A = this chain, B = another copy of it.
Protein backbone atom coordinates (compact mmCIF):
# COMPACT_ATOMS: atom_id res chain seq x y z
CA UNK A 1 0.00 0.00 0.00
CA UNK A 2 1.40 3.35 -1.03
CA UNK A 3 1.51 5.73 1.92
CA UNK A 4 -0.50 8.93 1.70
CA UNK A 5 -1.29 12.08 3.63
CA UNK A 6 -4.63 13.23 5.04
CA UNK A 7 -7.06 15.01 2.73
CA UNK A 8 -6.58 18.75 2.69
CA UNK A 9 -2.90 18.61 3.69
CA UNK A 10 0.18 18.98 1.54
CA UNK A 11 3.78 17.95 1.23
CA UNK A 12 6.04 20.70 -0.06
CA UNK A 13 9.06 19.81 -2.16
CA UNK A 14 12.24 21.91 -2.21
CA UNK A 15 11.06 24.17 -5.04
CA UNK A 16 7.76 24.84 -3.31
CA UNK A 17 9.40 25.46 0.06
CA UNK A 18 11.82 27.85 -1.64
CA UNK A 19 8.98 29.79 -3.23
CA UNK A 20 6.90 29.90 -0.08
CA UNK A 21 9.91 31.09 1.89
CA UNK A 22 10.53 33.77 -0.71
CA UNK A 23 7.02 35.14 -0.05
CA UNK A 24 7.38 34.77 3.73
CA UNK A 25 10.79 36.43 3.72
CA UNK A 26 9.55 39.36 1.65
CA UNK A 27 6.63 39.86 4.00
CA UNK A 28 8.83 39.47 7.11
CA UNK A 29 11.40 41.91 5.81
CA UNK A 30 8.72 44.54 5.36
CA UNK A 31 7.02 43.76 8.66
CA UNK A 32 10.35 44.46 10.32
CA UNK A 33 10.91 47.67 8.31
CA UNK A 34 7.56 48.87 9.61
CA UNK A 35 8.48 48.12 13.21
CA UNK A 36 6.52 44.90 13.69
CA UNK A 37 8.12 42.18 15.76
CA UNK A 38 7.49 38.44 15.60
CA UNK A 39 5.85 36.36 18.27
CA UNK A 40 4.91 32.68 18.18
CA UNK A 41 2.20 30.85 20.07
CA UNK A 42 1.70 27.11 20.60
CA UNK A 43 0.01 25.04 17.90
CA UNK A 44 -2.62 23.92 20.35
CA UNK A 45 -4.45 25.95 22.96
CA UNK A 46 -6.69 24.97 25.84
CA UNK A 47 -10.09 24.29 24.28
CA UNK A 48 -11.80 26.99 26.33
CA UNK A 49 -9.48 29.56 24.74
CA UNK A 50 -10.78 28.72 21.27
CA UNK A 51 -14.31 27.37 21.65
CA UNK A 52 -17.13 29.87 21.27
CA UNK A 53 -14.94 32.45 19.55
CA UNK A 54 -15.76 31.61 15.94
CA UNK A 55 -19.49 30.89 16.07
CA UNK A 56 -21.12 27.50 15.95
CA UNK A 57 -19.69 26.63 12.55
CA UNK A 58 -16.23 27.58 13.75
CA UNK A 59 -16.54 25.38 16.83
CA UNK A 60 -17.31 22.47 14.56
CA UNK A 61 -14.31 23.14 12.35
CA UNK A 62 -11.80 23.30 15.20
CA UNK A 63 -9.53 20.24 15.34
CA UNK A 64 -9.68 18.75 18.81
CA UNK A 65 -6.93 16.68 20.41
CA UNK A 66 -7.89 13.50 22.19
CA UNK A 67 -6.74 13.45 25.82
CA UNK A 68 -3.94 10.98 26.37
CA UNK A 69 -4.06 7.96 28.66
CA UNK A 70 -7.30 6.35 29.71
CA UNK A 71 -9.42 9.30 28.60
CA UNK A 72 -12.75 7.46 28.93
CA UNK A 73 -12.26 6.99 32.66
CA UNK A 74 -13.11 10.68 33.10
CA UNK A 75 -16.52 10.27 31.46
CA UNK A 76 -19.27 9.39 33.91
CA UNK A 77 -21.42 6.42 32.99
CA UNK A 78 -24.68 8.34 32.58
CA UNK A 79 -23.18 10.77 30.09
CA UNK A 80 -21.33 7.91 28.40
CA UNK A 81 -24.52 5.95 27.91
CA UNK A 82 -26.02 8.84 25.89
CA UNK A 83 -23.36 8.25 23.21
CA UNK A 84 -23.60 11.91 22.21
CA UNK A 85 -20.49 13.10 20.33
CA UNK A 86 -21.07 16.78 21.09
CA UNK A 87 -21.61 16.27 24.81
CA UNK A 88 -18.74 13.85 25.25
CA UNK A 89 -16.19 15.99 23.39
CA UNK A 90 -15.28 18.35 26.26
CA UNK A 91 -14.80 15.32 28.54
CA UNK A 92 -12.32 13.52 26.30
CA UNK A 93 -10.59 16.51 24.70
CA UNK A 94 -9.13 19.51 26.51
CA UNK A 95 -6.88 20.94 23.81
CA UNK A 96 -7.43 22.04 20.24
CA UNK A 97 -5.36 23.16 17.26
CA UNK A 98 -5.34 26.87 16.61
CA UNK A 99 -8.01 27.97 14.12
CA UNK A 100 -6.57 31.38 13.34
CA UNK A 101 -3.90 33.70 14.71
CA UNK A 102 -6.23 36.39 16.04
CA UNK A 103 -7.66 34.61 19.08
CA UNK A 104 -4.24 33.26 20.18
CA UNK A 105 -2.89 36.81 19.75
CA UNK A 106 -5.67 38.21 21.94
CA UNK A 107 -4.91 35.52 24.51
CA UNK A 108 -1.19 36.36 24.30
CA UNK A 109 -1.80 40.08 24.81
CA UNK A 110 -3.93 39.47 27.90
CA UNK A 111 -1.64 36.83 29.36
CA UNK A 112 1.52 38.89 28.87
CA UNK A 113 0.06 42.37 29.27
CA UNK A 114 2.49 43.26 32.04
CA UNK A 115 5.53 42.48 29.91
CA UNK A 116 4.24 44.15 26.74
CA UNK A 117 5.00 47.75 25.80
CA UNK A 118 1.92 49.26 24.18
CA UNK A 119 1.20 50.14 21.41
CA UNK A 120 2.24 46.59 20.63
CA UNK A 121 3.18 45.93 17.02
CA UNK A 122 3.44 42.22 16.45
CA UNK A 123 3.47 39.93 13.49
CA UNK A 124 2.87 36.23 13.42
CA UNK A 125 3.36 33.75 10.59
CA UNK A 126 2.26 30.28 11.59
CA UNK A 127 0.02 27.48 10.32
CA UNK A 128 -3.62 27.17 11.35
CA UNK A 129 -5.92 24.19 11.02
CA UNK A 130 -9.56 23.89 10.03
CA UNK A 131 -11.62 20.74 9.59
CA UNK A 132 -13.22 22.28 6.49
CA UNK A 133 -14.30 20.18 3.55
CA UNK A 134 -11.14 20.21 1.40
CA UNK A 135 -11.55 21.64 -2.09
CA UNK A 136 -9.47 23.34 -4.74
CA UNK A 137 -7.46 26.05 -2.98
CA UNK A 138 -8.91 25.29 0.44
CA UNK A 139 -6.76 23.32 2.84
CA UNK A 140 -7.02 21.87 6.31
CA UNK A 141 -3.58 23.15 7.18
CA UNK A 142 -2.46 26.53 5.88
CA UNK A 143 -0.34 29.48 6.95
CA UNK A 144 -1.66 32.81 8.07
CA UNK A 145 0.52 35.95 8.00
CA UNK A 146 -0.84 38.64 10.29
CA UNK A 147 0.44 42.00 11.45
CA UNK A 148 -1.46 43.88 14.15
CA UNK A 149 -0.96 46.87 16.34
CA UNK A 150 -2.95 47.15 19.54
CA UNK A 151 -3.19 49.93 22.04
CA UNK A 152 -3.65 52.93 19.79
CA UNK A 153 -6.54 54.47 17.92
CA UNK A 154 -4.31 56.60 15.74
CA UNK A 155 -5.26 56.74 12.05
CA UNK A 156 -1.57 56.69 11.18
CA UNK A 157 -1.86 52.93 11.61
CA UNK A 158 -4.30 52.77 8.72
CA UNK A 159 -1.88 54.82 6.63
CA UNK A 160 0.99 52.52 7.56
CA UNK A 161 -0.85 49.32 6.78
CA UNK A 162 -1.75 50.62 3.32
CA UNK A 163 1.91 51.49 2.75
CA UNK A 164 2.90 48.08 4.05
CA UNK A 165 0.67 46.28 1.55
CA UNK A 166 2.15 48.45 -1.19
CA UNK A 167 5.69 47.69 -0.04
CA UNK A 168 5.21 43.91 0.10
CA UNK A 169 3.49 43.57 -3.26
CA UNK A 170 5.96 45.93 -4.89
CA UNK A 171 8.86 43.86 -3.54
CA UNK A 172 7.18 40.71 -4.83
CA UNK A 173 7.08 42.29 -8.29
CA UNK A 174 3.30 42.18 -8.27
CA UNK A 175 2.40 45.53 -9.79
CA UNK A 176 -1.09 46.84 -10.10
CA UNK A 177 -2.74 45.53 -6.96
CA UNK A 178 -5.72 47.52 -5.74
CA UNK A 179 -6.11 48.23 -2.05
CA UNK A 180 -9.80 48.82 -1.47
CA UNK A 181 -10.82 50.75 1.59
CA UNK A 182 -14.10 51.35 3.34
CA UNK A 183 -15.14 52.26 6.84
CA UNK A 184 -17.62 50.49 9.00
CA UNK A 185 -18.83 53.87 10.26
CA UNK A 186 -19.83 54.87 6.73
CA UNK A 187 -21.88 51.71 6.34
CA UNK A 188 -23.51 52.34 9.71
CA UNK A 189 -24.07 55.97 8.72
CA UNK A 190 -25.78 54.98 5.49
CA UNK A 191 -28.01 52.51 7.30
CA UNK A 192 -28.83 55.23 9.82
CA UNK A 193 -29.51 57.81 7.10
CA UNK A 194 -31.93 55.60 5.22
CA UNK A 195 -33.58 54.45 8.44
CA UNK A 196 -32.44 50.84 8.11
CA UNK A 197 -30.12 50.54 11.14
CA UNK A 198 -31.68 47.23 12.08
CA UNK A 199 -31.01 45.92 8.58
CA UNK A 200 -27.29 46.77 8.43
CA UNK A 201 -26.24 43.23 7.57
CA UNK A 202 -28.97 42.65 4.93
CA UNK A 203 -28.18 46.04 3.50
CA UNK A 204 -24.42 45.50 3.27
CA UNK A 205 -24.77 41.97 1.95
CA UNK A 206 -26.87 43.35 -0.90
CA UNK A 207 -24.56 46.31 -1.51
CA UNK A 208 -21.55 43.99 -1.62
CA UNK A 209 -23.02 42.42 -4.76
CA UNK A 210 -23.05 45.65 -6.78
CA UNK A 211 -20.17 44.43 -8.95
CA UNK A 212 -21.93 41.17 -9.74
CA UNK A 213 -25.63 41.98 -10.05
CA UNK A 214 -25.59 45.70 -10.80
CA UNK A 215 -27.62 48.57 -9.41
CA UNK A 216 -31.01 47.15 -10.22
CA UNK A 217 -30.13 43.75 -8.79
CA UNK A 218 -28.98 45.32 -5.54
CA UNK A 219 -32.12 47.42 -5.26
CA UNK A 220 -34.28 44.37 -5.92
CA UNK A 221 -32.56 42.41 -3.15
CA UNK A 222 -32.90 45.34 -0.76
CA UNK A 223 -36.59 45.59 -1.50
CA UNK A 224 -36.97 41.89 -0.82
CA UNK A 225 -35.26 42.38 2.52
CA UNK A 226 -37.86 45.01 3.42
CA UNK A 227 -35.87 48.16 2.87
CA UNK A 228 -38.49 50.76 1.87
CA UNK A 229 -38.56 52.59 -1.48
CA UNK A 230 -37.95 55.99 0.13
CA UNK A 231 -34.73 54.64 1.65
CA UNK A 232 -33.59 53.36 -1.71
CA UNK A 233 -34.07 56.79 -3.20
CA UNK A 234 -31.85 58.30 -0.55
CA UNK A 235 -29.26 55.70 -1.49
CA UNK A 236 -29.12 56.88 -5.09
CA UNK A 237 -25.86 58.89 -4.74
CA UNK A 238 -24.13 55.69 -3.61
CA UNK A 239 -24.77 54.08 -6.96
CA UNK A 240 -23.33 56.97 -8.85
CA UNK A 241 -20.17 57.45 -6.77
CA UNK A 242 -17.62 58.38 -9.39
CA UNK A 243 -14.53 60.40 -9.99
CA UNK A 244 -11.54 60.98 -7.79
CA UNK A 245 -11.39 59.98 -4.14
CA UNK A 246 -12.00 63.61 -3.22
CA UNK A 247 -15.14 63.80 -5.34
CA UNK A 248 -16.44 60.51 -3.94
CA UNK A 249 -15.78 61.66 -0.41
CA UNK A 250 -17.65 64.89 -1.14
CA UNK A 251 -20.72 62.93 -2.31
CA UNK A 252 -20.52 60.70 0.76
CA UNK A 253 -20.20 63.69 3.05
CA UNK A 254 -23.39 65.18 1.60
CA UNK A 255 -25.24 61.89 1.76
CA UNK A 256 -24.26 61.37 5.41
CA UNK A 257 -24.60 64.97 6.58
CA UNK A 258 -27.16 64.05 9.23
CA UNK A 259 -25.27 61.08 10.67
CA UNK A 260 -22.55 61.81 13.23
CA UNK A 261 -21.13 58.34 12.86
CA UNK A 262 -21.25 58.46 9.06
CA UNK A 263 -19.56 61.87 9.00
CA UNK A 264 -16.82 60.55 11.27
CA UNK A 265 -16.29 57.66 8.87
CA UNK A 266 -15.99 60.06 5.94
CA UNK A 267 -13.49 62.18 7.83
CA UNK A 268 -11.38 59.16 8.69
CA UNK A 269 -11.41 58.01 5.11
CA UNK A 270 -10.55 61.52 4.01
CA UNK A 271 -7.52 61.74 6.28
CA UNK A 272 -6.28 58.35 5.14
CA UNK A 273 -6.71 58.91 1.44
CA UNK A 274 -5.30 62.43 1.48
CA UNK A 275 -2.26 61.30 3.45
CA UNK A 276 -1.66 58.35 1.16
CA UNK A 277 -1.97 60.69 -1.81
CA UNK A 278 0.63 63.01 -0.31
CA UNK A 279 3.03 60.22 0.61
CA UNK A 280 2.45 58.29 -2.61
CA UNK A 281 2.36 54.54 -3.14
CA UNK A 282 5.04 52.68 -5.06
CA UNK A 283 2.96 50.44 -7.33
CA UNK A 284 -0.42 49.80 -5.70
CA UNK A 285 -3.44 52.02 -5.89
CA UNK A 286 -5.89 52.91 -3.14
CA UNK A 287 -9.55 52.85 -4.03
CA UNK A 288 -12.56 53.83 -1.95
CA UNK A 289 -15.15 51.09 -2.15
CA UNK A 290 -18.27 51.62 -0.08
CA UNK A 291 -19.55 48.17 -1.03
CA UNK A 292 -16.69 46.53 0.88
CA UNK A 293 -18.20 44.87 3.93
CA UNK A 294 -15.84 42.14 5.18
CA UNK A 295 -15.59 41.29 8.86
CA UNK A 296 -18.54 43.44 9.91
CA UNK A 297 -18.92 41.44 13.10
CA UNK A 298 -15.62 42.70 14.47
CA UNK A 299 -14.32 45.60 12.36
CA UNK A 300 -15.40 48.96 13.75
CA UNK A 301 -13.49 51.44 11.57
CA UNK A 302 -11.41 51.02 8.43
CA UNK A 303 -11.93 47.92 6.34
CA UNK A 304 -9.25 46.90 3.82
CA UNK A 305 -9.14 44.37 1.06
CA UNK A 306 -6.45 43.77 -1.56
CA UNK A 307 -7.24 42.57 -5.07
CA UNK A 308 -4.72 40.99 -7.39
CA UNK A 309 -4.04 42.77 -10.70
CA UNK A 310 -7.06 42.60 -13.01
CA UNK A 311 -5.42 40.12 -15.42
CA UNK A 312 -5.53 37.39 -12.76
CA UNK A 313 -8.81 35.88 -11.69
CA UNK A 314 -8.39 35.50 -7.96
CA UNK A 315 -10.29 36.50 -4.84
CA UNK A 316 -8.73 38.90 -2.38
CA UNK A 317 -5.06 38.32 -1.57
CA UNK A 318 -5.16 40.24 1.70
CA UNK A 319 -7.48 42.04 4.03
CA UNK A 320 -7.81 43.68 7.40
CA UNK A 321 -9.36 46.39 9.42
CA UNK A 322 -9.70 48.36 12.62
CA UNK A 323 -11.29 46.77 15.66
CA UNK A 324 -12.24 48.46 18.90
CA UNK A 325 -12.00 45.56 21.14
CA UNK A 326 -9.71 42.62 20.58
CA UNK A 327 -9.17 41.30 24.04
CA UNK A 328 -12.39 41.72 26.02
CA UNK A 329 -13.18 38.05 25.38
CA UNK A 330 -10.30 37.43 27.78
CA UNK A 331 -11.26 40.17 30.21
CA UNK A 332 -9.07 43.05 29.05
CA UNK A 333 -11.11 46.02 27.85
CA UNK A 334 -10.38 49.01 25.60
CA UNK A 335 -7.67 47.39 23.56
CA UNK A 336 -8.28 49.02 20.20
CA UNK A 337 -6.17 48.02 17.30
CA UNK A 338 -5.83 47.27 13.67
CA UNK A 339 -4.50 44.37 11.71
CA UNK A 340 -3.99 43.04 8.24
CA UNK A 341 -3.22 39.65 6.82
CA UNK A 342 -1.67 38.26 3.67
CA UNK A 343 -3.21 35.29 1.87
CA UNK A 344 -0.11 33.16 1.28
CA UNK A 345 -1.64 30.41 -0.85
CA UNK A 346 -3.37 32.85 -3.19
CA UNK A 347 -0.33 35.08 -3.48
CA UNK A 348 1.63 31.95 -4.40
CA UNK A 349 -0.85 31.10 -7.16
CA UNK A 350 -0.81 34.67 -8.49
CA UNK A 351 2.99 34.83 -8.61
CA UNK A 352 3.07 31.45 -10.27
CA UNK A 353 0.47 32.42 -12.88
CA UNK A 354 2.28 35.65 -13.70
CA UNK A 355 5.65 33.91 -13.66
CA UNK A 356 6.97 36.28 -11.03
CA UNK A 357 9.04 33.91 -8.92
CA UNK A 358 12.73 34.74 -9.36
CA UNK A 359 14.68 31.83 -10.77
CA UNK A 360 17.31 31.90 -8.11
CA UNK A 361 15.20 31.56 -4.99
CA UNK A 362 15.30 27.84 -4.46
CA UNK A 363 18.14 26.71 -2.26
CA UNK A 364 20.28 24.68 -4.58
CA UNK A 365 23.94 23.84 -4.91
CA UNK A 366 25.90 25.93 -7.35
CA UNK A 367 28.29 23.13 -8.25
CA UNK A 368 28.47 19.34 -8.13
CA UNK A 369 31.97 17.90 -7.96
CA UNK A 370 32.14 14.58 -9.76
CA UNK A 371 33.48 11.63 -7.86
CA UNK A 372 36.33 9.76 -9.58
CA UNK A 373 37.53 7.79 -6.58
CA UNK A 374 39.03 8.29 -3.16
CA UNK A 375 42.11 10.41 -3.95
CA UNK A 376 40.23 12.58 -6.45
CA UNK A 377 37.41 13.06 -3.95
CA UNK A 378 39.79 14.17 -1.26
CA UNK A 379 41.20 16.73 -3.68
CA UNK A 380 37.65 17.83 -4.50
CA UNK A 381 36.63 18.01 -0.85
CA UNK A 382 39.45 20.43 -0.11
CA UNK A 383 38.07 22.76 -2.75
CA UNK A 384 34.47 22.21 -1.60
CA UNK A 385 35.42 23.13 1.93
CA UNK A 386 36.98 26.37 0.68
CA UNK A 387 33.92 27.18 -1.43
CA UNK A 388 31.48 26.63 1.43
CA UNK A 389 33.44 28.86 3.77
CA UNK A 390 33.11 31.47 1.03
CA UNK A 391 29.36 31.05 0.88
CA UNK A 392 29.17 28.91 -2.26
CA UNK A 393 26.90 25.87 -1.95
CA UNK A 394 28.73 22.91 -3.40
CA UNK A 395 28.73 19.17 -3.00
CA UNK A 396 30.54 16.01 -3.97
CA UNK A 397 28.69 13.21 -5.72
CA UNK A 398 28.93 10.60 -2.98
CA UNK A 399 29.83 7.55 -5.07
CA UNK A 400 32.36 6.95 -7.83
CA UNK A 401 29.54 6.10 -10.25
CA UNK A 402 29.71 6.30 -14.04
CA UNK A 403 30.20 9.83 -15.29
CA UNK A 404 26.93 9.82 -17.21
CA UNK A 405 25.02 8.99 -14.06
CA UNK A 406 26.73 11.75 -12.12
CA UNK A 407 26.10 14.29 -14.89
CA UNK A 408 22.49 13.16 -15.05
CA UNK A 409 22.18 13.78 -11.33
CA UNK A 410 23.44 17.36 -11.68
CA UNK A 411 21.02 17.83 -14.53
CA UNK A 412 17.97 16.49 -12.70
CA UNK A 413 18.83 18.47 -9.59
CA UNK A 414 19.17 21.62 -11.74
CA UNK A 415 22.68 22.24 -10.43
CA UNK A 416 24.16 24.81 -12.85
CA UNK A 417 27.83 23.72 -12.78
CA UNK A 418 29.79 20.52 -12.48
CA UNK A 419 33.44 20.37 -11.52
CA UNK A 420 35.72 17.62 -12.81
CA UNK A 421 39.01 16.89 -11.17
CA UNK A 422 40.84 13.73 -12.19
CA UNK A 423 44.47 12.73 -12.24
CA UNK A 424 45.63 15.37 -14.71
CA UNK A 425 43.80 18.20 -12.93
CA UNK A 426 45.35 17.15 -9.63
CA UNK A 427 48.77 17.12 -11.24
CA UNK A 428 48.27 20.68 -12.52
CA UNK A 429 46.39 21.75 -9.37
CA UNK A 430 43.38 22.92 -11.38
CA UNK A 431 39.70 22.11 -11.78
CA UNK A 432 37.58 21.75 -14.90
CA UNK A 433 34.42 23.81 -14.50
CA UNK A 434 31.57 22.83 -16.77
CA UNK A 435 28.54 25.01 -17.38
CA UNK A 436 25.66 22.55 -17.53
CA UNK A 437 23.54 24.81 -19.72
CA UNK A 438 26.02 25.84 -22.37
CA UNK A 439 28.36 22.86 -22.05
CA UNK A 440 31.29 25.28 -21.93
CA UNK A 441 34.34 24.00 -20.01
CA UNK A 442 37.13 25.98 -18.41
CA UNK A 443 40.26 24.98 -16.54
CA UNK A 444 40.69 27.06 -13.38
CA UNK A 445 42.83 27.10 -10.29
CA UNK A 446 41.08 27.19 -6.91
CA UNK A 447 41.03 30.98 -6.61
CA UNK A 448 39.61 31.40 -10.10
CA UNK A 449 37.08 28.63 -9.44
CA UNK A 450 35.96 30.40 -6.28
CA UNK A 451 35.52 33.66 -8.13
CA UNK A 452 33.70 32.03 -11.02
CA UNK A 453 31.21 30.32 -8.71
CA UNK A 454 30.74 33.27 -6.38
CA UNK A 455 29.52 35.58 -9.11
Report A364-398 CB contacts with B as 1/0, cut-off 8 Å.
11001001000001100110010010011111101
Q: Is A452 an interface residue when CB atoms closer than 8 A count as contact?
A: no
Closest CB-CB distance, A405 to chain B, in whole Å? Answer: 11
A3 close to B111 (CB less than 8 A): yes
Taken together as a complex, chains A and B put the C-alpha atoms of A402 and B440 apart, in Å, by 67
A11 at interface by CB-CB < 8 Å: yes
**Is A399 among interface residues, defined by CB-CB distance under 8 A?**
yes
Q: How many residues of A contact B (CB 8 A)?
A: 110
Binary per-residue interface labels of chain A (68-79) against chain B in the complex, 1 for a CB within 8 Å, 0 otherwise: 111111010000
Is A243 in the interface zone, CB < 8 Å from B?
Answer: no
Q: Verify B44–A6 contact, CB threshold 8 A.
A: yes
Bound-state Cα–Cα, A340 to B61, Å: 37
A269 within 8 A of B: no
CB nearest neighbor in B for A72: B85
A92 at interface, CB cutoff 8 A = yes
A152 to chain B, nearest CB (A): 4
CA distance A98 to B63 in the complex (A): 15
Cβ–Cβ contact B119 & A398, under 8 A = yes
A33 at the interface (CB under 8 A from B): yes
Secondary structure at the A interface, as helix, strand, loop or mixed, is: mixed
Are B398 and A43 in contact (CB-based, < 8 A)? no
Q: How far is the CA of A381 from the CA of B21 in the complex (A)?
A: 30
Chain B positions within 8 Å of A34 at CB level: 388, 393, 395
**A364 contacts which chain B residues (CB < 8 A)?**
37
Q: Residue A110 contacts which of B2, B121, B157, B382 (CB distance < 8 angstroms)?
A: B2
CB–CB B42/A385 < 8 A: no
Contact B398 A11 (CB under 8 A): no
Asked if A112 CB lies within 8 Å of chain B CBs, one says: yes
Besides A11-B108, A14-B39, A33-B393, 18 more A-B contacts (Cβ < 8 Å) are A2-B110, A3-B330, A6-B95, A11-B40, A11-B111, A11-B112, A13-B112, A30-B388, A32-B363, A34-B388, A34-B393, A43-B43, A43-B97, A43-B129, A152-B398, A160-B395, A275-B378, A275-B381
Q: Give the top 6 A-B pairs by smallest Cβ distance, nearest first.
A: A35-B395, A9-B42, A154-B398, A14-B37, A68-B131, A152-B398
Q: Interface of A with B (CB < 8 Å)?
A: 1-6, 9-14, 17-18, 21, 28, 30-35, 37-46, 49, 60-61, 63-66, 68-73, 75, 80, 83-86, 88-89, 92-95, 97, 107-108, 110-112, 115, 117, 119, 121-122, 127, 129, 131, 141, 149, 152-154, 156-157, 159-160, 163, 167, 275, 278-279, 330-331, 362-365, 368, 371, 377-378, 381-382, 385, 388, 391-396, 398-399, 409, 412-413
- A–B complex contacts, Cβ < 8 Å, 26 sampled: A2-B331, A3-B46, A3-B330, A4-B111, A6-B42, A6-B44, A6-B46, A6-B94, A9-B42, A10-B42, A11-B112, A17-B38, A18-B38, A33-B388, A33-B391, A35-B365, A35-B368, A37-B364, A43-B129, A43-B141, A60-B68, A68-B131, A72-B88, A73-B85, A153-B399, A279-B378
